[in-house]
Amino acid sequence: MCGSSTTDIYKEFRDELVGAGLLIPSGVRGVYGRSGVFENVIEQFERYVTREGAPQKAEVMHFPPLFNRAHYCSINHIHNFPDLMGSVHSFTGKDREHAEMLRKFEGGEDWTQDLHPSEVMLIPAACYPLYPTATGTLSTEGRIVDLKSFVFRHEPSDDPARMQIFRQREYVRLGTAEQALQHRNDWVKRGKAMLESVGLQVEAVVANDPFFGRGGRMAKATQREQDLKYELVVPICSTEKPTAVTSCNLHLDYFGIAFDIRTADGQPAHTACIGFGLERIALALFKAHGLEVKAWPAKVREILALD
Amino acid sequence: MCGSSTTDIYKEFRDELVGAGLLIPSGVRGVYGRSGVFENVIEQFERYVTREGAPQKAEVMHFPPLFNRAHYCSINHIHNFPDLMGSVHSFTGKDREHAEMLRKFEGGEDWTQDLHPSEVMLIPAACYPLYPTATGTLSTEGRIVDLKSFVFRHEPSDDPARMQIFRQREYVRLGTAEQALQHRNDWVKRGKAMLESVGLQVEAVVANDPFFGRGGRMAKATQREQDLKYELVVPICSTEKPTAVTSCNLHLDYFGIAFDIRTADGQPAHTACIGFGLERIALALFKAHGLEVKAWPAKVREILALD
């Protein structure tokens, strides 16, 4: 299993996963194909989430992994996480410009400066595309929305749990400050219990987001001070640096103001989400119980209907 | 339903789908969220594909929607379809460059030229990431692979069936020329029968790909002449211009040569695929049977297990 050198423990586990055929390397760090066995673990964990979330009677809104560029520009991701962004560019010229771009392409020059930014960015979090669609006034009950998407983070890494593209399954609450806080707090507990029930060693900790640069230090301090975000962490390769597999986040009225979402009494709505990192949860399960799903503990196989 | 003016029939159907809550607009043409009902139709059609494909005992390799840029540069997409490409760019600078990009961002200048091309492109077709992983020599049986991915095509449109990002489910054959041809031909028949069984009015036609510019005319002629690609088309908004919902494609030894995939006797492998366009199939079903799944014909609901 994972070795003792801190530089190698990630590569070792990645190589085991690749050797077992669970992940298929693409040649780019953090971008893998998934085997049928891996996909089935994710599908079954998702069904567990759906069962646990059923009493909420959430609306389902599953977005593809693209985010309207204009909406991206309405939030502060470019301030806080510019190094993680994915901006989608395409070619919009005619024959003449095409010939010039091909000349560069074939001559080994940089041809990408001939592209233009498209109308879209890659999604940084599964719930972002929801908020711009929610502009307007909520009922007194507010809303609960079930989201799922591939999300992108440009952070090439040998750690198999730090993928550049992975799926998040979320439940988002839109409503009053109390409704949002309760959602966040309920799901910290429920999410922790769910992960424990499938044999993972989980701890809830205050989040430690990788805000960018000098300006990010203040954002980080504010996040911690206001007690906004909890992560459910599980040791995957490292017990000293356990991996966040789920996060429970209170946004206060940030999205309510950015996208003019209001409560029934006209105040900016508060929002909160729980996001399950599905690939990380699958990896944590493979680490805890071994690479052969058939050999996992009976109770875990039963909860995840893996027989 | 669809009106008579050719410019409006697409918008009208899109507006009906949005009105029924099946698609959720993102503000970008061709990028939508999907409701739970819409997702369930896709999931059930996929299960039908899985059942029909089961005798093949295919290996499952599901890739996320990103494609290694170096592999993109080994194929001719930039020659044939540059206008459809999605190149992913990110920020790689430090605090100083960040401050300069933010100055442009906040001043309304173009900040995207401060980004750098990342290691990845968006995937143009679900099977592309497979071929670079298949370098080497096949057994005499060859391989059959089950793929699924969101794919990107930069073609903003009001036609709900012409999305910028949608899912393809594929079965790819790698092997001899005969194995590839047989896979393609078998799946043209099987795919047509499947679509007919769920009440769609299907025709198999020689494909008409939108090759780019002057150079594309020859590629288009070659594709038609060599009888390489069939599309299964169904009228969605227009009976005169039916929509390709599935395609069956013979690549000859194109990918075998590009990625050094060889048959047991050392020849470049031939490949072929069937690709189901899942969103288009769902849209064709909603168009044919109405927006209320409960009111669909009993036989269709039974095949798709929609009860």
pLDDT value at residue A210: 82
- The whole-number average pLDDT for the span A81-108 is 97
Q: What is the mean pLDDT of residues B41-45?
A: 98
Q: Which of A82, A156, A165 sits opposite B91 (nearest CB)?
A: A82
Task: Express each pLDDT in B27-39 by its tens digit.
Answer: 999 999 999 999 9
Confidence label for A6 from pLDDT (cuts 50, 70 and 90):
low
Give chain A's count of helices (H) and strands (E): 11, 14
Contact A61 B34 (CB under 8 A): yes
- Inspect the interface and report whether the beta carbons of A120 and B164 lie closer than 8 Å: yes
**Burial bucket for residue A239 (CB in 10 Å: 0-12, 13-18, 19+):** exposed
Beta carbons of A64 and B98 less than 8 Å apart = no
User: Which residues does chain B have within 8 Å of residue A92's beta carbon, measured at their own beta carbons?
Assistant: 83
Position A263 scores a pLDDT of 98
> Are A65 and B95 an interchain contact pair (Cβ–Cβ within 8 Å)?
no
Question: What is chain A's mean pLDDT, rounded?
Answer: 95
ipTM of this predicted structure: 0.95
Of B91, B122, B156, the CB nearest to A119: B156
DSSP A56: G
Question: Quick one: which H or E segment has residue A152?
Answer: strand A143-152
Find the range with the poorest average confidence among A177-186, A218-227, B100-109. Answer: A218-227
CA distance B36 to chain A (A): 5
Distance (Å) from the alpha carbon of A4 to chain B's nearest alpha carbon:
30
**B78 → closest Cβ in A84, A102, A156:** A102
State residue A254's pLDDT score. 94
Query: Which of A64, A165, A212 has its CB closest to that of B66?
Result: A165
pLDDT tens sequence across B85-142: 999 999 999 999 999 999 999 999 999 999 999 999 999 999 999 999 999 999 999 9
Q: Which of A78, A88, A98 sits opposite B86 (nearest CB)?
A: A88
Of the listed ranges A135-139, A203-207, A225-229, B122-126, the least confidently predicted one is A225-229
**More reliable by pLDDT, B207 or A125:** A125
When pLDDT is averaged across residues B145-159 and rounded to a whole number, the result is 97
Read off the pLDDT of residues A33-47 as tens digits, 9 standing for 90 and up.
Answer: 999 999 999 999 999
| B24–A61 C-beta distance less than 8 A | yes
pTM above 0.90, yes or no: yes
* Structure confidence at residue A111 as a pLDDT band (50, 70, 90): very high
- B4/chain A closest Cα distance in angstroms: 30
Minimum CA–CA partner of A63 in chain B = B33
Task: Provide the shortest C-alpha distance from residue B27 to chain A (in Å).
Answer: 7
Q: Write the pLDDT tens digit of every residue in A54-76.
A: 999 999 999 999 999 999 999 99
What's the order of all strands across the beta sheet hosting A87-90?
A: A66-68, A116-122, A87-90, B87-90, B116-122, B66-68
Report, as an integer, the average pLDDT of A206-217. Answer: 82
Q: Per residue in A8-24, pLDDT tens?
A: 999 999 999 999 999 99
Cβ–Cβ pairs < 8 A, chains A and B: 207
Question: Tens of pLDDT along B48-92?
Answer: 999 999 999 999 999 999 999 999 999 999 999 999 999 999 999
Closest-CA distance, A169 to chain B, in angstroms, reads 14
Mean pLDDT of B178-200: 97
Q: How far is A195 from chain B (nearest CA, A)?
A: 24
pLDDT of residue A3: 46
pLDDT score at A1:
45
Taking contacts as CB-CB distances below 8 angstroms, the residues of chain A near B166 are 64
- Looking at residue A2, what is its pLDDT? 47
> Quick one: pLDDT at residue A128?
97
pLDDT recorded at residue A54: 97
Reply yes or no on whether the pLDDT at B4 is more than 80: no
Taking all residues of chain B, what is their mean pLDDT, rounded to a whole number? 95
Render pLDDT for A113-170 as a digit per residue (tens, 0 to 9): 999 999 999 999 999 999 999 999 999 999 999 999 999 999 999 999 999 999 999 9
Nearest residue on chain B to A150, alpha-carbon basis: B64
